[in-house]
């Protein structure tokens, strides 16, 4: 930065030939002046009175634990998720780190964590410790929930080390390159291992073929959940689609086609014919004198295993997405959708919504404005060439309220909608900050102070704010921060 100014200043250019100003302390001060975290927080407090904290933890290449902090807030008609910093907390309670961030920024309206016990624990997790404010609701990341469901169903080692469901591509690649894998493992077995024998057995090949019917649909839902604009209605529709898909798979005819397809794709006879497993005698302490069940053929045996996986997936989808906060958000959605689609009249607001938002929304005025809410749909339909007869998405209501006259007329409805949009459905922003951490801290650059790491990470993630930095202001603040530099420059 100083060199840019020195191009037009001869004395400064001569000074820089001997004084480099490239020490660690100087670089840290310049990074501090370039960081725009204060301006970002000021914008959040000005544009939105409520926001949500998104927290997730990871380890860097040196094994240090970091807690990623992000803030979700809603401006006039746009949802923002912004990274604010990372806490190095190897010996620090995560609750203290979160509270320290809240003291600097103000208490948020929601909490988004992954499923780790230290964050979502019912006894001493961060979400439990911050529950002193009943309006700071906690929600489990939808993407982590879906990932846990598939991990529960898959008894083998995960095929992908990432957090999100990304397994079908690995399985498909294995099946497409089975002959090359066979030749490689054939060479390995000559060196004294038994891996070759395992992969040529029918259960391994058949299990991969069955997995291709289970994982791809879940991965499509996972990609959808990685958007910051995903809503509760989108999650429910995705979960319902998955459950219907898995129920359709649970039929004898469907499995027969899967089994025959895997059986016929034997890769030129490299895979053994499917057979029943050896019958094993139960230990005496478990033997109740009843004969164990015997399958008539191998297809019946594999079908029972496949049905067990499908039943587990269906039940876990219901269990993982049965969160109290999701039910509350669903009630808010139903109130807004019902109010805009029905004829003008009184709209009943659920008691849970009243108890949660009574201090932020005038319930009486909200009820009156909801009764007039169909006017928004009528006005929008009359002013466009493609009128809307039925509103099914919250995003449509957000677009309709973008007009200034509607927003001022339905101020309480707009406030309720913003509070609804403030609660995130996934913590993908925190996960993406881990990618920046991996780029900054490598095996060759693993030692870095927390302050320097946060400055660099903030500038790397918020590229739009970095591009808008006024370099002359940065240099001016840097020069006037020291009497010696002020006297010279």
Return the CATH number at 66: 3.30.420
Which of 100-109, 233-242, 293-302 has the lowest average pLDDT?
100-109
Same domain, yes or no: 306 and 167 = yes
Same domain, yes or no: 149 and 266 = yes
Residue 7 lies in a domain: yes
Residue 54 lies in a domain: yes
- Write down the residue that tokens 């587990």 correspond to: 312
Residues 214 and 306: their CA atoms lie apart, in Å, by 10
Does residue 460 register a pLDDT over 70? yes
Residue 290 lies in a domain: no
More confident residue, 397 or 200: 397
- Give the pLDDT confidence score for residue 118 in this predicted structure: 43
Same domain, yes or no: 484 and 455 = no
pLDDT tens, residue by residue, 139-162: 777 777 777 777 666 654 444 444
Residue 41 lies in a domain: no
Same domain, yes or no: 358 and 439 = no
In 3D space, the residue among 398, 396, 366, 397 whose CA is nearest the CA of residue 75 turns out to be 398
Mean of the per-residue pLDDT values of the chain: 76
Burial class (CB in 10 A: 0-12, 13-18, 19+), 4: exposed
- Give the pLDDT confidence score for residue 136 in this predicted structure: 65
Same domain, yes or no: 340 and 361 = yes
Tell me the percentage of the chain whose pLDDT exceeds 70.
70
Instruction: Identify the band that residue 117 occupies on the pLDDT scale cut at 50, 70 and 90.
Output: very low
Which domain covers residue 85, as residue numbers?
46-141+427-468
- Give the pLDDT confidence score for residue 185 in this predicted structure: 66
More confident residue, 152 or 367: 367
Residue 185 lies in a domain: no
Cα-Cα-Cα-Cα dihedral of 204, 195, 173, 61, to 10°? 120
Same domain, yes or no: 226 and 347 = no
Instruction: Identify the band that residue 122 occupies on the pLDDT scale cut at 50, 70 and 90.
Output: very low
Q: What are phi and psi of 81, to 5 degrees?
A: -130, 110
Helix then strand then coil, % of the chain, to nearest 5: 60, 10, 35
Same domain, yes or no: 149 and 81 = no
pLDDT tens, residue by residue, 288-302: 666 667 778 888 888
Same domain, yes or no: 359 and 223 = no
Does residue 211 register a pLDDT over 80? no
How many domains in the chain? 4
Same domain, yes or no: 150 and 119 = no
The stretch 310-324 carries a mean pLDDT of 85
Q: CA torsion sign, 396 to 399 to 404 to 408? A: positive
Q: Give SS3 for 286.
A: helix
Same domain, yes or no: 345 and 407 = yes
Residue 193 lies in a domain: no
Does residue 113 register a pLDDT over 50? no
Cα-Cα-Cα-Cα dihedral of 55, 325, 141, 239, to 10°? -170
Residue 283 lies in a domain: no
Same domain, yes or no: 166 and 315 = yes
Structure tokens at 281: 């005698």
Nearest-5° Cα angle at 161, 169 to 441: 125
More confident residue, 171 or 354: 354
Residue 98 lies in a domain: yes
Same domain, yes or no: 164 and 301 = yes
């Amino acid at each position: 930065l100083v060199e840019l100014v020195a191009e037009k200043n001869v004395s400064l250019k001569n000074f820089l030939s001997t004084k480099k100003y490239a020490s660690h302390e100087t670089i840290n001060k310049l990074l501090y002046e370039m960081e725009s975290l204060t301006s970002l927080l000021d914008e959040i407090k000005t544009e939105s009175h409520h926001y949500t904290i998104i927290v997730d933890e990871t380890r860097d290449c040196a094994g240090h634990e970091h807690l990623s902090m992000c803030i979700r807030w809603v401006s006039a008609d746009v949802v923002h998720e912004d990274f604010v910093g990372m806490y190095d907390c190897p010996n620090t309670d995560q609750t203290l780190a979160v509270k320290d961030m809240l003291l600097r920024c103000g208490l948020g309206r929601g909490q988004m964590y992954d499923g780790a016990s230290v964050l979502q624990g019912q006894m001493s997790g961060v979400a439990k410790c911050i529950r002193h404010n009943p309006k700071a609701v906690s929600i489990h990341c939808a993407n982590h929930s879906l990932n846990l469901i598939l991990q529960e169903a898959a008894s083998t080692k995960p095929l992908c080390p990432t957090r999100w469901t990304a397994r079908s591509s690995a399985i498909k690649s294995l099946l497409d390159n089975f002959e090359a894998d066979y030749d490689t493992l054939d060479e390995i077995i000559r060196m004294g291992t038994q891996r070759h024998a395992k992969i040529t057995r029918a259960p391994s090949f058949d299990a991969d073929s069955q997995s291709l019917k289970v994982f791809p649909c879940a991965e499509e839902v996972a990609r959808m959940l990685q958007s910051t604009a995903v809503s509760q209605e989108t999650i429910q529709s995705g979960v319902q689609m998955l459950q219907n898909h898995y129920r359709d798979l649970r039929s004898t005819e469907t499995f027969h086609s899967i089994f025959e397809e895997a059986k016929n794709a034997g890769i030129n006879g490299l895979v053994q014919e499917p057979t029943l497993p050896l019958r094993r005698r139960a230990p005496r302490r478990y033997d109740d004198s009843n004969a164990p069940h015997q399958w008539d053929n191998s297809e019946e045996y594999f079908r029972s295993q496949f049905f067990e996986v499908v039943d587990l997936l269906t039940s876990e989808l219901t269990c993982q997405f049965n969160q109290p906060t999701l039910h509350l958000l669903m009630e808010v959605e139903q109130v807004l959708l019902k109010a805009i689609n029905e004829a003008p009249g009184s709209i009943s607001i659920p008691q849970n919504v009243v108890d949660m938002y009574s201090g932020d929304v005038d319930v009486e005025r909200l009820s009156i404005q909801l009764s007039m809410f169909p006017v928004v749909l009528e006005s929008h339909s009359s002013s466009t060439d493609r009128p809307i007869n039925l509103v099914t998405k919250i995003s449509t209501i957000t677009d309709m309220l973008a007009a200034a006259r509607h927003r001022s007329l339905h101020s309480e409805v707009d406030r309720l909608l913003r509070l609804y949009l403030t609660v995130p459905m996934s913590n993908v922003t925190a996960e993406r900050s881990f990618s920046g951490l991996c780029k900054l801290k490598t095996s060759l650059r693993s030692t870095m102070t927390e302050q320097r790491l946060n400055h660099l990470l903030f500038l790397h993630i918020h590229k739009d704010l970095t591009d808008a930095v006024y370099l002359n202001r940065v240099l001016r603040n840097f020069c006037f921060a020291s009497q010696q530099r002020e006297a010279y420059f």
